[in-house]
Amino acid sequence: MNYNTKRRVAALLAVPALLFTAACGSDDDSNGGETAGVAQVDGKVGEKPKISVPKDGDPSGKTVVETVSEGSGTAIKASDFVRLDWTVEKWGEDKELGGTWAATSTGESTPRRQSVEQIGKPSQQLPAKVLDAVKGKKPGSRVLVQGTAGDLIGESLNPSSGINQKDVLIWVVDVAGAGHVDPKGEAKGEQAASEPGLPEVKAPSQKAATITIPKNTKAPKDLKEQVLIKGDGKKVEAGQGLVAQYTGVKWEDGKKFDSSWDHGGATAFQIGTGSVVPGWDKGLVGKNVGDRVLLVIPPSLGYGASPDSELSKNTLVFVVDILDVV
């Protein structure tokens, strides 16, 4: 089974009742929100937007993409990694159907959960057309995407969502961060030997790491971590999107259950917000870009709180190469 990070390592954000997998492009009518039949967006980028629609009049009959506010820096390209805030409403109903602006569930001091995505790759949070709309935009931009559910979501629309194909949906997306990372990137430098009692790691270039569990050794009850290669990049902060290569095995039998190398290379996720298993948040926040980190995660900091997970009783061993943050 493929334990994709977005599905297994990440405890995903609350997904709205709209489930989607369709992928296609969209029209771009970038004219500052003044098109007839297009929702108006108020508020500052970085704060929850206020969406309003004309009381009289019908929505535009085609999908519209507008740059509500333009950011600065390098325009986002295909395959770039992005960290996004977003909200979605149905035309004529002042009700949020889903998004990232809800208060964090892990405490006021914890950064808000956001979506971390790679342009051109399937998302479990946003329809392909909505995610594709930020391509060509700059970090700090706010983008409106408006269209029918049939056009934006298509046949993947959940019939129990209460939304029909003709309903007009309005997404507002803020680009909080973006960056280009080589999907085949890896930590560079001399690797240290594992500390006594920790698994041995061999990491051949461009392949999943080989992790050997020490014989006749009980799994530790607490989180164990070791920096095997010391990077010299930026320190990882809670709330950032972390781009990484990783390989994971079970302590109990040493079998690999997942590796980013098995499904296209570098993967991104938000760190330090409860969006991934606690062992990742505790073990990777504060490390540096360029580090290769060995993590041994007991069930209590892994999937122990998720009894339905196949890994709920396992101690997990990960080798993580931190490639960048967005």
**How far is the CA of 265 from the CAs of 76, 206, 211, 212, 279, in angstroms?**
19, 9, 18, 22, 22
Single-letter residue type at 138: K
- pLDDT value of position 109: 73
Backbone angles phi, psi at 244, to 5 degrees: -150, 155
- pLDDT value of position 212: 98
Q: Token pair for residue 267?
A: 């993967």
What distance in Å separates the CA atoms of residue 284 and residue 101, rounded to the nearest whole number?
A: 24
- pLDDT value of position 14: 33
User: 3-state class of 82 per DSSP?
Assistant: strand
pTM score, whole prediction: 0.88
Give the DSSP H or E segment for 282: helix 278-284
Backbone angles phi, psi at 149, to 5 degrees: -60, -35
Q: Token pair for residue 299?
A: 């069930």
Distance of CA 312 to the CA centre of its chain: 22
Backbone angles phi, psi at 284, to 5 degrees: -110, -30
Is the distance from CB of 270 to CB of 116 less than 8 angstroms?
yes
Q: Token pair for residue 223?
A: 């989180």
Q: Token pair for residue 153?
A: 């979501």
Scan for tokens 């309005």, then name that residue: 170
Is the distance from CB of 277 to CB of 9 less than 8 angstroms?
yes
Q: Token pair for residue 8?
A: 């297994």
Indicate the Cα dihedral angle 38, 122, 187, 290, nearest 10°.
30
pLDDT per residue rounded down to tens, the chain (326 residues):
333 444 444 332 333 444 444 333 344 444 444 457 999 999 999 999 999 998 888 999 899 999 999 999 999 999 999 999 999 999 999 899 999 998 654 556 789 999 999 999 999 899 999 999 999 999 999 999 999 999 999 988 888 888 999 999 999 999 999 999 999 999 999 999 999 999 999 999 999 999 999 999 999 999 999 999 999 999 999 999 999 999 999 999 999 999 999 999 999 999 999 999 999 999 999 999 999 999 999 999 999 988 889 999 999 999 999 999 99
Q: Nearest Cα to 135, choosing from 75, 176, 93?
A: 75
